[in-house]
Amino acid sequence: MTMAVWDYIFFKDAPLPKNTKIPKESLDLMRKSFQFWYPVDLRVSGKDLIQNHLTFYIYNHCAIWPKEEDKWPKGIRANGHLMLNSAKMSKSDGNFLTLTESIDKFSADGMRLTLADAGDSVEDANFVENTADAAILRLYTFIEWVKEIIATKSTLRTGEHNFHDKVFVSEMNTKINQTDENYCKMLFKEALKTGFFELQAARDKYRELCSDSGMHADLVTRYIETQAKLMSPICPHVAEHVWELLGNKTSILHELWPVAGDIDETSIKASNYLMDAAHSFRIYLKNHCAVKKPKKGEAPKPEKKPNKAVIWVAKEYPKWQHVILTTLKELNGPNGLPDNKEISSKLGAIPELKKYMKRVMPFVQATRENMERIGIEALSVGLPFDEAAILLENKPYLLNTLDLDSIEVKYTDDPEAPEKTREDCAPGQPHVSFSVETGVEASFINPTPHNGLFTVSATLADGDTIEKVKAKIAKEVKAIKDLSSLKLWRYKDPIVGPRSIPVPGDHESKCVVLDNTAILKVDVNAVTVELVSNGKNLPIGTKLIYTYEK
């Protein structure tokens, strides 16, 4: 291995060495191998080697190949050291964990997930044992959920995709793109965040929004496949196991990396708007039901739980906010918005804002924070989707999450809208007002023996349809999933019927099934309930029957 031999291997213009016993075929094979593997795409090492080994690593390549820059290293990645439970690892202090011990304690995939979550930068990564315990639990929960889905797949919805299906598809595609980009940058913590935690959060949101209609079978299968592939580089054993649970006969290693499809940004924004609105409504409801501070000498009185809500939606911003947004859009430059002093001076000179000067700068600051979060869209004076339509389409979800009987969606240009609501409500920022709808308490008896459904009470309000009353009963009896299988019956004799000794099955001769479209007329003062039928009011009393066949 003379200098001439090394020159021939390393330099593509070097002549064939003369005084060597190495066959030309072997020399050419070594040269080909070197040319194939160089340059090095990435050298990974510790941050403590930056000032010595890694620096001379660059110098050496530049010195050996001064005229062949294509042989120089393409990249260097330095990483920090590893801490254990937020403290430096030390045998003398007892804060130490070997690789064998850690795998026995947390499993291989539990270790890999926790190490990926510990950090990627030159800052010291932190391996936390509590995080490792949580990782094992999370992986176990995911596997058990997959088993449950496979066992109950026949009960999932099929057919056309609804709004939430389309959003879930777009969110999966978004996470595929983000995770792929993070892996390419060797940002394993970020890849774990987008490809595991955030993808599971998207699934949880989808499952919550589809609590009434159910999740789509094909999308659930696609989610499991995508989740297994995205987590495979970090948790290969769990990914392989889940892949086998899906019935695949070949290894997941033979699969191609998932390719993202089209992403509907508008649908994602509409879905995020719905979740943010529902969250704000729950806070409004909590404040509404909070016990008011009583006057001196009076006992505190809890607010009666509301069962009705009106959601107010603005078609456009109030004039003063519209003026501010338009001005900010004009002031926004390549470096973003100017400082608040310049903005305040500009807005202070606008006559339309004189009345609202105390509220101008807080609104500007809120807009500035929105810009940092979502970009230039924060200065838009409209939404890319129909706000009211999204709320109406998802009324069942809002009724369920707020535990209400009825919800109305109205625009702030309605004459009944409160003045404060008109001033504060803006596109993307709906307001809600809660109230208690008065009615008559009615009891519904289930005559079917041995089925576990008992008497339930519901408040009947004037104008309620039988379909709406069914929804009230289903809200109280969680076992009722399908309203089409729920029947409401009235006694033919509303006075004597409820007083007679019940016999299983006699309700079919003593009662009449109520039509879903029938309307109730309720007199709260007289405590009477009547059925409006063919222009006549038929008294039905406050004792009724319900049956449910699964």
CA distance 4 to 499: 112
The pLDDT of residue 302 is: 67
Q: Are residues 223 and 258 in the same domain?
A: yes
The pLDDT of residue 119 is: 87
Q: Are residues 74 and 190 in the same domain?
A: no
Q: Are residues 59 and 134 in the same domain?
A: no
The pLDDT of residue 494 is: 92
Q: How many residues does the chain have?
A: 550
Q: Are residues 226 and 134 in the same domain?
A: yes
Query: Is 110 within 8 Å of 142 (Cβ atoms)?
Result: no
Q: Are residues 181 and 220 in the same domain?
A: yes
Q: Helix 99-106 and helix 108-118: axis angle, to 10°?
A: 110
CA distance 421 to 60: 71
Handedness of CA 42, 45, 51, 52 (dihedral sign): negative
Tokens found for residue 37: 């593997």
CATH number at residue 538: 3.10.20.90
Boundary residue ending a domain (64, 79, 94)? 79
In a domain, 389, yes or no: no
Spans in the chain with pLDDT lower than 50: none
CB count in 10 Å sphere of residue 86? 10
In a domain, 403, yes or no: no
Q: Are residues 55 and 115 in the same domain?
A: no
Widest CA span of the chain, in angstroms? 120
Query: Is 440 within 8 Å of 522 (Cβ atoms)?
Result: yes
Could you say which DSSP state residue 385 is in?
S
Q: Are residues 448 and 540 in the same domain?
A: yes
Residue 23 CB-density burial (10 A; 0-12 exposed, 13-18 middle, 19+ buried)? exposed
Q: Are residues 248 and 138 in the same domain?
A: yes
Q: Are residues 244 and 354 in the same domain?
A: no
In a domain, 444, yes or no: yes
Tally of structural domains, the chain: 4
Q: Are residues 74 and 110 in the same domain?
A: no
- What is the pTM for the complete model shown? 0.79
In a domain, 296, yes or no: no
In a domain, 406, yes or no: no
Boundary residue ending a domain (263, 279, 301)? 263
Tokens 């338009």 locate to 326
In a domain, 452, yes or no: yes
CA distance 194 to 189: 9
Domain span at residue 330? Answer: 317-381
CA distance 323 to 359: 13
Residue 172 CB-density burial (10 A; 0-12 exposed, 13-18 middle, 19+ buried)? buried
Q: Are residues 54 and 177 in the same domain?
A: no
Three-state DSSP at 47 gives helix
In a domain, 250, yes or no: yes
Could you say which DSSP state residue 111 is in?
H
- Phi, psi angles (nearest 5°) of residue 547: -130, 150
Q: Are residues 236 and 111 in the same domain?
A: yes
In a domain, 196, yes or no: yes
Boundary residue ending a domain (350, 366, 381)? 381
